[in-house]
Structure 1
Amino acid sequence: MSARIPELPSKPSPVAVVIPAFNEADTVADVIRVARELTPDVVVASDGSVDDTVQVARQAGAQVLDIQPNGGKGPALKAALEATQAQYVIMLDADLTGLTLDHLHLLLAPVQGGQLDMSIGVFDGGGFVTDWGNKLTPHLSGQRACRRDWLLAVPHLGEERWPEPAITAHLKSTGARWDYIELPRVAQVLKEKKRGFWKGASARTKMYADLLTYGWRKKK
């Protein structure tokens, strides 16, 4: 894995937004635009993208890590975290729609205020399919806020193609305080729409198989 890591600002922002991305040129700029309303410290980790994700993200004003080859969301997330020195981080998926600055404040406020160690965003009213999938498995949500040092301490974070189960396991093992936060009218672009029905359905099946077998794989 290789990445071009930009120079860090001389005075780090207290909050960074980190965005793992794989072939998300159509949506990543809108996510970055909202993130930059909160903080100038926005890091996109392009995980082996072969479309224009890298160029689009740079043009939108993010620091961009062009990681090659594709290694999974976990390694991309860890690289993004290591590219900032912010005290707090917000994780966002790169294919969100309907995101606003208010949603970022909803995620961040209870963490910065000391009520939670991690907030986990769940979609509400963004669309039936994404709402249903997100609420069925809210512990797999990619929208979160927490302290950067806590997230970097998650075991196996940079080894898992999908890091959410490892994060959930660390929440439980450390007794961290966490809760779900509803994100009104936020949704994701379906894989079936981005890649075509059959390729998208296949990618979704593989993703959930990997996510839902994390505990079993770690016990082997």
Structure 2
Amino acid sequence: MKIAAVIPAYNEELTLPGVLEPVMQCDELSQVIVVSDGSTDRTAEIAREMGAELIVLPYNQGKGAAVMAGVAATSAEIILLLDADLVGLTPVHITALLSPVIKEEAMMAIGVFTEGRISTDLSQQVAPVLNGQRAVRRELLMSLPDLDHTKYGIEVVLTRYARTHHCKVVRVPLPKLTQVMKEEKLGFYRGFKARLRMYWQIIKVLVATKTL
């Protein structure tokens, strides 16, 4: 069974090495694909240096487009989706996330941060559907039209579709895993604006796709 990791990344030169290192150690993965979504830093260069397959989008098109560009570049039956700003990722996390889908116990596994930082753990408990750490059967991803237009709404659209169509979805605890928050990357003001923009994108996509 072919399994591919798809990692969308926008200006993540500081955290990408810490994500790619454990990913490249995983024997379960046949491919590791990084999609640089219009990055202007060393994201693409780092991905190439660390041995990942690289897709470079010429300008920032949003998370949905970056994810689907990676999916289009592989024929893998299972897609592992990981954010590029994770902190504390290990091969154990990856194996745990993949296991229910490999064993055909679920069509999609969603990771949930636990035992890490209060800020990220709390957000996961409140809205786990926003988590970008997932293992997904290819046919589920390909069942949805226009996922490449969903931007930050890709996770909630995917989760809602799976539940509406009675596809088994499980949550997988990911202890000690966290990620860098937007306010930490960009400063409080710019980060808060970016967070509001993300939520607005999610709301718009949910309204636009409510009939799926």
TM (norm. structure 1) is 0.90
Identity of aligned residues (%): 38
d(CA) in 2 for partners of 1:40, 1:175:
29
Partner in structure 1 of residue 19 of structure 2: 31
Q: Which runs of 5+ in 2 are unaligned?
A: none
Shift of 1:126: 1.6
Partner in structure 2 of residue 8 of structure 1: none
d(CA) in 1 for partners of 2:30, 2:145:
29
Q: Structure 2 residue aligned with 1:195, among 186, 192, 198?
A: 186
Q: For 1:1-220, list aligned pairs within 5 A.
A: 14-38=2-26, 39-162=29-152, 163-218=154-209
Q: Quickly say closer, same or farther: Cα 1:219–1:40, change in 2 above 3 A.
A: closer
Shift of 1:40: 4.9
d(CA) in 2 for partners of 1:138, 1:213:
19
Equivalenced residue count is: 208
d(CA) in 1 for partners of 2:130, 2:203:
9
Q: Does the residue aligned with 1:170 lie in a helix, a strand or coil?
A: helix
Report if aligned partners of 1:164, 1:211 keep a CA contact under 8 Å in 2.
no
Deviation string for 1:150-201 (max 9, x for gaps)? 2122232111112112202220232100011110000010111111111111
The Cα RMSD (Å) is: 1.5
Q: Does the residue aligned with 2:8 lie in a helix, a strand or coil?
A: strand
Q: Does the residue aligned with 1:94 lie in a helix, a strand or coil?
A: coil
Q: Which runs of 5+ in 1 are unaligned?
A: 1-12
Shift of 1:135: 1.6
Deviation string for 1:15-38 (max 9, x for gaps)? 111001111010112111111111
Report if aligned partners of 2:157, 2:209 keep a CA contact under 8 Å in 1.
no
TM (norm. structure 2) is 0.93
Q: Does the residue aligned with 2:79 lie in a helix, a strand or coil?
A: strand
Report if aligned partners of 1:107, 1:120 keep a CA contact under 8 Å in 2.
yes
